[in-house]
Homo-oligomer: A and B are copies of this chain.
């Protein structure tokens, strides 16, 4: 089986990119879209993010065999309730949220009897909103699918095929494991970036203007992910609390060791630690998960 009508609920960076990618990569598939914000719906129509943009979420999912919820994690259950009345019984309900256990529980409760197959494309930029999307966002990126045990195999396969058609590589895992993995590879990096950017802008001895001027020394890298959508990230931390706190404490333990090495002037400890981190970077570049050009390919002229 494969999907012939995809409904996209939420037309920001990810929802918009799915719409554009389907148009480019799955021309036989039609799309319908909805966003709670009327300005976003209007802009989505101008940009053609879906074949039809509806003003009512229940209208948007009528006749759809795949519904993808692309709203902040905290808005998933309400979005599910809003579409419930007109969902086809055969329809697959999926999403793109960055925490999977709470979404799985929330959707299962909101949509009893429906086929729910959560998913998470590990892709994005620091921009958000309907203008931020583009059709190649998922190319060469991983999409993690966390099917509940009850999910029919043919529908899981269809969702895998859908994401592969959009250029993604697909991996399947348990929702709880997903939440631990993403806590490390995404949530903690964002938390640290939001925090250090806040710290730097509040200092008394160094002005904000100096922080901005001399940011090329490394700080500017952190400002990119700290420019991500505040509502999306608030919801991630509210919904993946346990895994985030667990990984944050691992990081804090290591940072305390590093602090002590600096205090004690332990150059050997620092050199040993700083040497092994290069290997990880090399592997990420070798596996096509980052740009091989120096400085992420930033323009130097």
B-binding residues in A (CB < 8 A) = 74, 98, 122-127, 132, 134, 136-137, 139, 141-142, 144, 171, 177, 180-182, 184-203, 205-206, 208, 210-228, 230-231, 233-235, 237-238, 241, 244-245, 247-248, 250-252, 254-255, 258-259, 261-263, 265, 267, 270-271, 273-278, 280-284, 287, 289-291, 294-301
Contacts and interface: CB of A to CB of B under 8 A. Distances in A.
Contact of A275 (B210, B221, B230, B267): B230
Shortest 10 CB-CB contacts between residues of A and residues of B: A186-B217, A230-B274, A189-B218, A125-B294, A227-B281, A296-B296, A226-B277, A223-B281, A197-B277, A185-B219
Mostly helix, strand, loop or mixed at chain A's interface? helix
B197 A280 contact: yes
Nearest to A297: B297
Given A122-B214, A132-B294, A289-B215, A281 B224 contact: yes
Contacts of A245: 259, 262-263
Given A184-B200, A213-B171, A245-B259, A189 B296 contact: no
Contacts of A217: 98, 122, 124, 182, 185-187, 189
Number of copies of chain A assembled together:
2
Contact of A126 (B132, B206, B294): B294
A196 B225 CA distance: 15
Nearest to A249: B259
A206 B184 contact: yes
A180 B204 CA distance: 11
B221 A206 contact: no
A236 B274 CA distance: 12
Contacts of A270: 230, 233-234, 237-238
A191 B26 CA distance: 45
Contacts of A123: 216
Contact of A218 (B144, B186, B241, B295): B186
Contact of A185 (B215, B238, B281): B215
A156 B198 CA distance: 35
Nearest to A178: B214
B291 A185 contact: no
Contacts of A238: 262, 265, 267, 270
Given A139-B301, A185-B217, A191-B262, 16 more contacts: A74-B267, A184-B219, A186-B214, A186-B218, A189-B222, A193-B277, A194-B273, A201-B277, A202-B254, A203-B250, A212-B289, A220-B289, A221-B221, A238-B267, A291-B296, A295-B296
A199 B250 contact: yes
A195 B184 CA distance: 12
B219 A267 contact: no
A263 B240 CA distance: 10
A125 B241 CA distance: 35
22 contacts: A136-B300, A137-B300, A139-B301, A180-B205, A184-B211, A185-B200, A185-B206, A191-B255, A195-B273, A196-B254, A200-B280, A201-B276, A201-B277, A201-B280, A223-B280, A238-B265, A245-B259, A245-B263, A291-B298, A291-B299, A297-B297, A297-B298
